[in-house]
Structure 1
């Protein structure tokens, strides 16, 4: 199994920016924890961060046919990006959206979420631990998808006999 973690704008500034909202952990620390957990579960994991919407869209599209699941924190693009929403929808890869803060308890403009409707699930407000929850949830979804695919293959093989 292969998972891509996509981080949006300003997440490269974690540990520096607004620690009262996002906490003191740096993105590299979050990724190190995710890599450890993925390794314990025999999952390959890759990381990508960009402050540019088009690069995020390109990365989502590159996942098609190569990646089994996506964990994405679109950050500020959550509230504005139809392009990221359309890319997630187009590739039809199980995707879990993560937000460190609870976007529903923040400014009014942050309550509009363009991304959630095309994602498998959303994790909000658990701080950096939300990434761990996203991994647990996504790994479970991917195991279920794999089980269904194996059952379908067995059924087709039985019908072919």
Structure 2
């Protein structure tokens, strides 16, 4: 089974950007943890990070017929990413929205996600563990649906 992991704008700066919010774990370290968990779960992952919404949309389109699910951290697209929202809704597989911080506990404008209505669920506020918890849940959801 193949799953997608999409990292949105500025997430390439994890470890450097606002470490008091996001911690010091880099995106490369997060991806390594995801790869390790994928091996343990006997799945494959395809990962992208882009600062451009169109690249994330293209990535979803590219894998529409081969992926069983996706994790997406929309980052700065959370509040305004209409094309990303629409692309997620067009996918035939479940998607989980991921955030390292608890967006509901930050600035008021961050609390509203335009992405949330398009996804199966949201995991947030657990730092890098948000990705791992979301991947475990997504794999279980897909495996349960196949039985």
TM-score w.r.t. the length of structure 1 is 0.89
Give runs of aligned pairs for residues 67-82 of structure 1, distance below 5 A.
Answer: 67-82=67-82
User: SS at the partner of 1:79?
Assistant: coil
Post-superposition Cα deviations, 1:119-142, rounded to whole Å, max 9, x if no partner, equal 111001111110110011001111
Partner residue of 1:33? 33
Partner residue of 1:24? 24
Distance 2:23 2:43 in 1: 27
Partner residue of 1:154? none
Distance 2:65 2:110 in 1: 32
Post-superposition Cα deviations, 1:18-52, rounded to whole Å, max 9, x if no partner, equal 00000000000011011011101110111100000
Post-superposition Cα deviations, 1:66-93, rounded to whole Å, max 9, x if no partner, equal 1111011000101101110000001131
Distance 1:21 1:34 in 2: 21
TM-score w.r.t. the length of structure 2 is 0.97
Partner residue of 1:2? 2
Partner residue of 1:42? 42
- Gaps of at least 5 residues in structure 1 are 148-161
Distance 1:114 1:52 in 2: 17
User: SS at the partner of 1:25?
Assistant: coil
Distance 1:73 1:55 in 2: 14
Superposed structure 1 runs of 4+ greater than 2 Å apart: none
Distance 2:53 2:135 in 1: 23
- Gaps of at least 5 residues in structure 2 are none
Distance 1:49 1:28 in 2: 11
1:62 Cα offset (Å):
1.4
Higher share of residues assigned helix = 1
Distance 1:46 1:57 in 2: 14
Greater Rg over alpha carbons, structure: 1
Let me know the Cα RMSD of the aligned residues.
0.8
Count how many residue pairs are aligned between Structure 1 and Structure 2: 147
